[in-house]
Structure formats: structure tokens, C-alpha cells
Amino acid sequence: MRVLVAGLGNMGRSHALAYHTHPDADVIGLVNRSAVDLPEALLNYPWVTTFAEGLALKPDLVCIATYSDSHADYAIAAMEAGADVFVEKPLATTVDDARRVVAAAERLGRKLVVGYILRHHPSWQRLITEARDLGGPYVFRMNLNQQSDGDTWKTHKALMENTSPIVDCGVHYVDVMCQITDAKPVRVNGMGLRLSDEIAPSMYNYGQLQVWFEDGSVGWYEAGWGPMMSETAFFVKDVVSPNGAVSITDGHKGASDDIDGHTKVGGILVHRPSDDQLIEIHNEPGHQDLCDAQAAFMIDAVKTDADLSRHMDDAVQSLAICLAADESIRSGHPMTLGETR
């Protein structure tokens, strides 16, 4: 399978390495506007500076890991050029654009996979299973705040030129909420604050959303980026139901900007009024392992002609919730959600 990788930031390099090692993938080119340092394994691949040049190489599969505002147009262009597509989250920067990408995949018969990395992590799959076993309605309490400086803060500032933390990171954890409750989201509220003069006045680097679901479940998620963020309680993952609670217990996450720590669970505490069960998790996959798993899922979906309808619907739904929260923050009003498709 001829693979083109577009965007060579942290995620793009990891995806390129994943396709480099996959036995059914042949990386035919890398796309990036400017020169970047690459691991030795990637140094000999052809390099182009525009997406159009990359598509001219006739890939079968395109991996898109560029900035969020290019995702929709690049994905559609790749599918129209005859390629299947893996695109990093978020799928787009508007719900309309996300629907446009899904419509193109359906119209053209292409496979479209969105980079929800937690879906490929066995520990998170276990957390979802344990929470569903308790039964709803649920209270979801989740956050991921990152105390960033130096190059990491530079990356965050670049991301915030078009995407807020509540959207960029929130889609992962809202997707987890939706998988657990399996109920339609109906209302979203958000609040946020700009805590740095280094970002545009129209952007905020701290935000929190609250979401209500049709089955009565409620949840909140918060995300903050920057050198001012606290390292205290930066990683909370807690699901409560009338029958107990499921929580990630690992208190040794390391620094909040350690990317491996964002996915590792360490342990899951299942609490019921009658007893507590601690599920110890060992040998969890690291960041590169999870990118490898996503590449394998993408290639397998193409080879087996997998039905990705639910995957695409879920990607639009989680994005719709986070974008509604973003709009709520900017407007100061709660947002009512309609159908996601």
C-alpha cells in the first residue's frame, strides 16, 4: 500500500514511523512546508513541500497530520485523488466541514479513519467496559491540563492559531463519554479564559465544557495549556454511576506535558458500595505503540473493506460537542445540540 504522510510534527513523525515499520505499507513520500529534524528511519524518503505534490505521487493511503484548519480540504482532495485517508483529530474545525468529509468518503467509497488514539489502547477499552457494566446514568469527570514551556509552549501557541485546547484535546475524552453512555448529547455549556498575552485576543488557553445527555448523564472536561498551568490534579479520569464508580488511579503520571503519560492508565479502581476492585495494568503501550496500532487499524480497514459508518458518526458527534462548547465560551450562552448528521 503506497502511503503518503502529510505533516511532520510530533504526531506526523510518529505516524510516519508506524507506516515505515508496517509490512503492508510502502511510504512513498513525506509532506512538510519547512525542514524539520527527522529520525534516521525517515531520512531517505522523498520529501515535498506541498500537498498537491504529494498527491501527484499517486498514494493509495494518505495520512494527514497537518494543522487542524487544513484537515477537511486535504482529506477530501486525497479521497478525490483515489486514496483512503487517515486524518488526525479533530476531523475539521467546523461541524459542516466534518460532515462534508464524511459525505465525500461515502460518495467516493473511500475509507476514512480519524486519529482517536484512546480507541486503540487496551486500558481505555477496559475502563469503558467497566463503566458500561455499572450502568448509567453517569457523571463524567475528566481533564487534561498541560504545563508547557519552551518548544512545547511554542507548539501549543501554533495550535491555538486556529484550535482551542478544549477542541483539540477534548474530542478524545468526549468520545470516551459517548462510548460509555451511548446516548445522544442534547446540551452543552462552556467557559474559558485567555491567560496569556502571547496568544490572540480571540483565543483562550483554558476552557471547560459541561455536556448533558439524553439518558440523564452529565459530564465535564477541562483543558489548559501554558507555563502558568498547575501540575496539581492535571489528570482526572472518573466515571460515577448510581452503582459505583470507575477511576484511573495512577498518581505517578510524570510531567503534564509528557505525551506518554496522557494515555497510560496504570491502574483502574472499580468502586461498588459492597467492595472495591483495583485492576492493575502492566506493560501498557507507549505513544509510538499506539500510533503503530492506528496504522494497523487503518490498513486492515482497507484490506477487509470494514464498515466505518459508526466510526465516522462518532467522530462528527464528539467534534460537534466540543465545537458547541467553544461557541458557548465565545457567546456566553449554552448551546442546544441537534442531530450530528
The CATH number for 2-115, chosen from 3.40.50.720, 1.10.1450.10, 3.30.1600.10, 3.40.50.620, is 3.40.50.720
Above 50 in pLDDT, residue 341? no
Q: Where are the domains positioned within the chain? A: 2-115, 119-288+320-336
- What is the per-residue pLDDT across 118-144, written as a single tens digit (0 to 9) for each? 999 999 999 999 999 999 999 999 999
d(C-alpha 303, C-alpha 308), whole Å: 13
Instruction: Give ∠ CA 174-177-183 in degrees, rounded to 5.
Output: 110
Residue 233: per-residue pLDDT:
83
Q: What pTM was estimated for this model as a whole?
A: 0.91
Smallest CA-to-CA distance from 312 within 133, 164, 107 is with: 107
How much is the mean pLDDT over the chain?
A: 93
**How far apart (Å, rounded) are the C-alpha atoms in residues 317 and 329?**
19
Whether residue 261 has pLDDT greater than 60:
no
User: Which pLDDT value is given to residue 339?
Assistant: 43
Convert the pLDDT of each residue in 176-206 to its tens digit: 999 999 999 999 999 999 999 999 999 999 9
Question: What's the number of CA atoms in the CB half-sphere (13 Å) around residue 302?
Answer: 21
pLDDT score for 281: 84
* Cα end-to-end span (Å), the chain: 31
Question: pLDDT at position 284, please?
Answer: 86
The per-residue pLDDT for 146 is 93
* 3-class SS shares of the chain: helix, strand, coil, % to 5: 40, 25, 35
Homologous superfamily of 119-288+320-336 in CATH? Dihydrodipicolinate Reductase; domain 2 (3.30.360.10)
